[in-house]
């Protein structure tokens, strides 16, 4: 299972791969990214990731790396890596230029990719559930752009990890929940799912969308709207979704139990349904 | 006048200098920076920049690159570069690690520096003044941290440049002005200076502070408090400060003249006083 890297047409080990110190991705966070995983030797939801990448690139006017050209490179990388359970990381930046804030439209972007073995979430956590904490939402207001401006996310995740939690959930000043530092957030109330609507407030998570679609297929009602931290604390169930996280129950929030402090039935059912969907390879 | 680069102890041309694709500065914007210029062969306000760097590093818990060790490297770089009018760019990141949001405290940071010739602002602009535009403040709420999460700044500056303006000035949803995309903002009302107070809303600009101090020394009153975009539009004078910008009058805002559309007397006097201070090398 070779882990390897690709940087603008050059293949190497990950350790040997580097970018210029004048890369705008390094100096400004002027770039976007995707993390794509595989199940059983097949890239999962690749086209969904590429559509989101296109959205991110368009939102920051990053041109010169059309997804039609990037896609075969991703597939080649994944095939070279020979991973059954792998993770492709893809980052596109506005490329190398002497440092100044404004950019030259039409420059040559930097395309970086790696393939690595997937370090899956400890399977026991899906049964036991995880602790989460809430943190103030201090990030910029274009969370729909999957950019590498991730300092707010990092600092939140670090706070979670240092307090023994799996995730930090952002709450706006008016009490409305947005998302986790690397996940989307769902609550269950009286058998219905509730999650923040798509828009600038949150990242349009691929697993989030798949769970919404799966729930609707099963006749479970889904509301996409803002909900408050109080609604979250009083929820029947609370869970996180993400490419690496899949569907993961939260059993304590700020050290207070969610209901009985156990992973809820609907959370469990949706994880099973998600895995079934993976088995059927229904990822579009 | 050799332009050169330093990356964690290694000296090279800027073109040859690179960082790992797994550098957290590249993947997360997990780093901070400073831009220091020289006048007449002498680094200007170096200790102020280092104090701000310390603040930024402390704010994101970035350890392992104490300014006491960084300072002699900056001086060595500057001496090797042999620039009379030069710019030192310094970036410190949380270093190289396999990608995940949370970090390992105590890792080895990446220290990158370059020295280049200063591309000064066209001197005519100090006489003519410049256009500026206003843009919504959409950045994160820790603007006091000089991090490389600069996408909001870039997109704003790009909008300014594309509309023929020098700078984009951020205005919060409630109408209060924060700062420019790479400058601080001052207005003059009835002979008094008004600028946003320091705190999380703005970067504590070095030139901003020097202008406040210089004004106070000259008996000019200075108020540091939030002011609105309406106060800015109605100002007697409007100017920007920054390391590269120095003290630059704004004569139109969103294509509307500020007063008579000329650089104001106090703006001009403060630029002269700033240059006098540079000549006297009073930078602490």
pLDDT (tens digit per residue) in A188-217: 999 999 999 999 999 999 999 999 999 999
Tens-digit pLDDT profile for residues B82-139 = 999 999 999 999 999 999 999 988 889 999 999 999 988 999 999 999 999 999 999 9
- Residue B146: what are its φ and ψ, rounded to 5°? -85, 75
- Structure-block tokens of residue A171: 């709450």
Q: Tell which of B101, B140, B180 to mutate to test the A interface (max A CBs under 10 Å).
A: B101
At A284 the pLDDT is: 84
User: Mean pLDDT across the stretch A169-173?
Assistant: 98
- Structure-block tokens of residue B71: 């300072």
Residue A78 near residue A115, CB atoms below 8 Å: yes
Tell me which chain B residues have a C-beta less than 8 angstroms from the C-beta of A25.
Answer: 26
Of A26, A30, A141, the CB nearest to B25: A26
Provide, rounded to the nearest whole percent, the portion of chain A with pLDDT above 90.
97
At B284 the pLDDT is: 84
Answer yes or no: do B20 and A21 touch at CB < 8 A.
no
At A83 the pLDDT is: 93
Would you say how long chain B is, in residues?
284
How many contacts, defined by CB atoms under 8 Å, are there between A and B? Answer: 140
Active-site pick, B71, B146, B190, B198: B146
Residue A80 has pLDDT above 80, yes or no: yes
Which has the higher per-residue pLDDT, B80 or A284? Answer: B80
Answer yes or no: do B19 and A33 touch at CB < 8 A.
no
Q: Residue B115 is inside which H or E element, if any?
A: strand B110-117
The torsion of the CA quartet A118, A119, A124, A126, rounded to 10 degrees, works out to -60
Tell me which chain B residues have a C-beta less than 8 angstroms from the C-beta of A14.
Answer: 21-22
Residue A171 near residue A229, CB atoms below 8 Å: yes
Closest CA to B26 of B102, B88, B87, B110: B110
Residue B266 near residue B191, CB atoms below 8 Å: yes
Residue B216 burial (CB count, 10 A): 12
pLDDT band for position A106 (cuts 50, 70, 90): confident
The torsion of the CA quartet B144, B145, B147, B150, rounded to 10 degrees, works out to -30
User: Mean pLDDT across the stretch A81-91?
Assistant: 96
The label of the residue with tokens 């984009």 reads: B168
* Strands B86-93 vs B31-39: parallel, antiparallel or unpaired: antiparallel
DSSP 3-state assignment of A35? Answer: strand
Q: What angle do CA A140, B210, B251 make, to 5 degrees?
A: 70
DSSP states of chain B: ---EEEETTEEE-TTT-EEETTBHHHHH--EEEEEEEEETTEESSHHHHHHHHHHHHHHTT--S--HHHHHHHHHHHHHHHT-SSEEEEEEEE--B-SS-SS--TT---EEEEEEEE--PPPTHHHHH-EEEEEEE--S-S-TTS-BS--HHHHHHHHHHHHTT-SEEEEE-TTSBEEEESSSEEEEEETTEEEEPPSSTTS---HHHHHHHHHHHHTT--EEES--BHHHHHT-SEEEEEETTTEEEEEEEETTEESTTTS--HHHHHHHHHHHHHHHTT---
Query: Residue B219 class from Cβ within 10 Å (0-12 exposed, 13-18 middle, 19+ buried)?
Result: exposed
Q: Residue A87 is inside which H or E element, if any?
A: strand A86-93
DSSP 3-state assignment of B44? Answer: coil
* Strands B110-117 vs B4-7: parallel, antiparallel or unpaired: antiparallel
Tell me which chain A residues have a C-beta less than 8 angstroms from the C-beta of B149.
Answer: 29, 140, 149-152
Tell me which chain A residues have a C-beta less than 8 angstroms from the C-beta of B157.
Answer: 101-102
Residue ranges in chain B modelled with pLDDT below 50: none
Answer yes or no: do B102 and A160 touch at CB < 8 A.
yes
The pTM is what? Answer: 0.97
At B1 the pLDDT is: 53
Answer yes or no: do B149 and A25 touch at CB < 8 A.
no
Provide, rounded to the nearest whole percent, the portion of chain A with pLDDT above 70.
100
C-alpha to C-alpha distance for A33 and B28, rounded to whole angstroms: 10
Of B28, B141, B154, the CB nearest to A150: B28
Count helices and strands (H / E) in chain B: 8, 16
User: Mean pLDDT across the stretch A10-34?
Assistant: 98
Q: Which residue of B has its CA nearest to A101?
A: B154
Answer yes or no: do B140 and A158 touch at CB < 8 A.
no
Residue B75 burial (CB count, 10 A): 13
Tell me which chain A residues have a C-beta less than 8 angstroms from the C-beta of B103.
Answer: 154, 158
Answer yes or no: do A19 and B33 touch at CB < 8 A.
no
- Structure-block tokens of residue B191: 């002979």
Tens-digit pLDDT profile for residues A130-151 = 999 999 999 999 999 999 999 9
C-alpha to C-alpha distance for B265 and B263, rounded to whole angstroms: 7
At B201 the pLDDT is: 98
* Strands B184-189 vs A18-20: parallel, antiparallel or unpaired: unpaired
Active-site amino acid positions of A: 146
Residue A265 burial (CB count, 10 A): 12
Residue A53 has pLDDT above 90, yes or no: yes
Tell me which chain B residues have a C-beta less than 8 angstroms from the C-beta of A157.
Answer: 101-102
Cα–Cα distances (Å) from B201 to B18, B195, B198, in that order, read 33, 12, 7
Q: Which residue of B has its CA nearest to A173?
A: B141
Of A22, A102, A182, the CB nearest to B14: A22
User: Mean pLDDT across the stretch A39-49?
Assistant: 97
pLDDT band for position A1 (cuts 50, 70, 90): low
The label of the residue with tokens 């110190």 reads: A21
Q: Tell which of A22, A24, A29, A201 to mutate to test the B interface (max B CBs under 10 Å).
A: A29
The label of the residue with tokens 């500065």 reads: B25
**What are residue B23's DSSP bridge partners?**
B96
Answer yes or no: do B21 and A30 touch at CB < 8 A.
no
State how far residue A60 is from chain B, nearest Cα, in angstroms.
7
Answer yes or no: do A181 and B101 touch at CB < 8 A.
yes
- For the stretch B231-236, contacts whose Cβ atoms lie closer than 8 Å and that sit 24 or more positions apart, written own/partner, are B231/B177, B231/B187, B231/B189, B231/B194, B232/B169, B232/B177, B232/B185, B232/B187, B233/B258, B235/B187, B235/B188, B235/B189, B235/B194, B235/B259, B236/B187, B236/B188, B236/B189, B236/B190, B236/B264, B236/B266
């Amino acid at each position: 299972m070779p882990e390897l890297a690709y940087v603008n047409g050059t293949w190497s080990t990950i350790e040997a791969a580097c970018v210029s110190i004048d890369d705008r991705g390094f100096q400004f966070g002027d770039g976007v990214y995707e993390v794509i995983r595989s199940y059983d030797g097949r890239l999962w939801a690749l086209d969904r990731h590429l559509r989101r990448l296109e959205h991110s690139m368009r939102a920051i006017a990053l041109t010169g790396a059309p997804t039609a050209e990037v896609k075969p490179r991703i597939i080649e990388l994944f095939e070279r890596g020979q991973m059954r359970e792998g993770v492709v990381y893809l980052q596109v930046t506005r490329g190398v230029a002497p440092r100044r804030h404004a950019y030259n439209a039409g420059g040559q972007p930097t395309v970086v990719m790696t393939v690595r073995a997937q370090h899956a979430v400890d399977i026991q956590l899906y049964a036991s559930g995880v602790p989460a904490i809430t943190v103030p939402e201090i990030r910029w207001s274009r969370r729909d752009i999957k950019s590498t401006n991730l300092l707010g996310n990092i600092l939140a995740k670090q706070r979670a990890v240092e307090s023994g939690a799996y995730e930090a959930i952002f709450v706006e000043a008016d009490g409305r929940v947005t998302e986790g530092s690397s996940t989307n957030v769902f609550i269950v109330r009286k058998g219905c799912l509730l999650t923040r609507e798509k828009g600038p407030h949150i990242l349009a998570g691929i697993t989030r969308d798949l769970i919404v679609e799966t729930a609707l297929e099963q006749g479970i009602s889904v509301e996409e709207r803002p909900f408050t931290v109080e609604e979250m604390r009083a929820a029947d169930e609370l869970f996180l979704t993400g490419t690496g996280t899949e569907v993961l129950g939260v059993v304590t929030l700020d050290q207070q139990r969610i209901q009985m402090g156990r992973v809820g039935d609907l959370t469990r059912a949706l994880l099973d349904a998600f895995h079934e969907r993976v088995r059927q390879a229904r990822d579009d």
